[in-house]
Structure 1
Amino acid sequence: MHYQAVTTGYFLSRPNRFIAQVETAEGIQTVHVKNTGRCRELLIPGALVFLEQNMNPSRKTQFDLIAVQKGKRLINMDAQAPNKVFAEWVENGGFLEGITAVRSEYRYGASRLDFCLETPKGRHFVEVKGVTLEEGGFARFPDAPTERGVKHIQELQKAVEAGLDATLFFVVQMEHIKSVAPNDDTHLAFGKALRTAAAAGVHILAYDCTVTPNSIAIRNSVPVILSAKEIHNHELS
């Protein structure tokens, strides 16, 4: 996935979850933030951010904030990127062999899941979650309570119980992550739902990404740690 006309700036403030004030070479700009999560550990005053210029003259904001530099790590924070890079990866032969059709925004039960993959074995549902929260090389999800995320996990579990395949797929929007784990401190219900679904047969996978100022692509598999004890031990190792 590639971006066009990328420029840089320095984050100043975030008046609300949709916009930010960024100092650029052309002056202070009001930019659209393509992530409604908290991102408090990313959007720190003075942080180097990357902006994609939008060519739509009817837009109120000229730029979209797509990535941020956190120490030596470049983190893509475009909430639309995970689904796009997953779809590209699937179309290029990643994830599963023998996929005959890829359907997005697929209605199942009481939810609209991100993907329904048609395979020789039948339908395989995939819900994609983008991960931007990182500390010490360990990633966590979510960075804010997500009842919608809990609902999606429960629908995946129902699909498995009905004899179908289902995967919760974490797209970690940065490189060189040691592991991904549920962020129980922020939303314990999500972690409980994830563990219950995994025990029921839902696949829980995570991949990190190669990130540049103007691109993002799925890179390598990353361990998913569900046990609280294992999470603690893994962080100490």
Structure 2
Amino acid sequence: MQYEHIVTGTFLKRPNRFIAHVMIDGREEVCHVKNTGRLREFLVPGAELLVEFHPDAAALGRKTAFSVIGVYKENAGYNHERLLINMDSQAPNQAAAEWLNEGGLSLEVTEVKREVTYHESRFDLAFKQGGCPSFMEVKGVTLEHDGAAMFPDAPTERGVKHIMELRDAAMEGYHAYILFVIQMKGILSFSPNRATHPEFADALKLASESGVHILARDCIITKQEMKIDMPVKVII
């Protein structure tokens, strides 16, 4: 997942889920926030952000010329260091598709497609694995504490629905995966955030027991790139 025209800025405030006010080169700019989550743990006044500039914003009819795509979080990860976290909620699906095409799973993967309908559902990715039809749901993870990544950061009935639909697919003979893309380094483990949404944690456990493969991977994060990297221990 590649970015262009990246600049840095300082977070000022977030009037609503969709925009943030950011100081960039001495000017206060209104920026689109490419993540509607709460993000309270790192969108704090004074935080350093990565912002993508869109030079063709006016021609495309965009309301803003900037999008917030990353943040530096202090005292983060298992080493309690300064970490760069990608917070673009659209990046995990693109990165997952690239990872599959590059041989991320052990068996040969072909015919990778995005946003594929199954019965009344739509899964993020569909592909053939060793000739077997397969589905994958992708969840981006930005919440961490002491090197433990967690999802979700707010209750998600939609997330529960996706898990149960994947369970149905697994029980019908499809290969089914949930990939938690941890949008940072410095992570030792992943767990469902039971304290925030116990129903999500219960659904994930049930899906795992029914044959859905639960995967978690960290990412290499730079100013220009987010790339899925190493496996992370999953604790359900």
Residue 95 (structure 1) shift:
1.7
Q: Distance in 1 between matches of 2:188 and 2:129?
A: 31
8 Å contact from structure 2 (residues 113, 125) kept in 1: yes
Partner residue of 2:77?
none
The 8 Å contact of residues 67 and 75 in structure 1, kept in 2 or not, is answered as: yes
Contact 1:17 1:36 in 2 (8 A): yes
1:108-187 correspondence runs (5 A): 108-187=118-197
CA distance in 2, matches of 1:139, 1:100: 30
Report the counterpart of residue 80 of structure 1 in structure 2: 90
What is the Cα-based RMSD across aligned positions, in Å? 1.0
User: Does the aligned pair in 2 maintain the 1:90–1:96 contact within 8 Å?
Assistant: no
Whole-Å Cα distance in 2 between the matches of residues 98 and 205 of structure 1? 17
Measured against aligned partners, the alpha-carbon deviations of 1:119-159 in whole angstroms (never above 9, x if no partner) come to 33421110000000011111000011111110000011001
For 1:160, what is the secondary structure of its paired residue? helix
TM-score by length of 1: 0.93
Q: Distance in 2 between matches of 1:193 and 1:42?
A: 28
Residues 76-125 of structure 1: CA deviation (Å, up to 9, x unaligned): 00000001111111111222432220111011132210011123342111
1:220 equivalent to 2:223? Answer: no
Post-superposition offset of 1:24: 1.2
**Structure 1 residue runs of 4 or more that deviate by more than 3 Å after TM superposition:** none
1:68 aligns with 2:78: no
Contact 1:42/1:70 (<8 A) preserved: yes
Residue 116 (structure 2) aligns with: 106
1:33 matched residue in structure 2: 33
Aligned partner of 2:79 in structure 1 is: none
Amino acid aligned to 1:60: K
| Alpha-carbon separation, structure 2, partners of 1:4 and 1:219 | 21
Query: Is the Cα–Cα contact under 8 Å of residues 32 and 64 in structure 1 kept in the other structure?
Result: yes
Deviates further, 103-112 or 148-157: 103-112
> What runs of 5+ residues in structure 1 fail to find an aligned partner?
227-237
Letter in structure 2 aligned against 1:112 = R
Aligned pair count? 226
Distance in 1 (alpha carbons) for counterparts of 2:120 and 2:200: 18
The residue type equivalent to 1:63 in the other structure is F
Shift of 1:196: 0.5
Is 2:143–2:153's contact at 8 Å kept on the other side of the alignment? yes
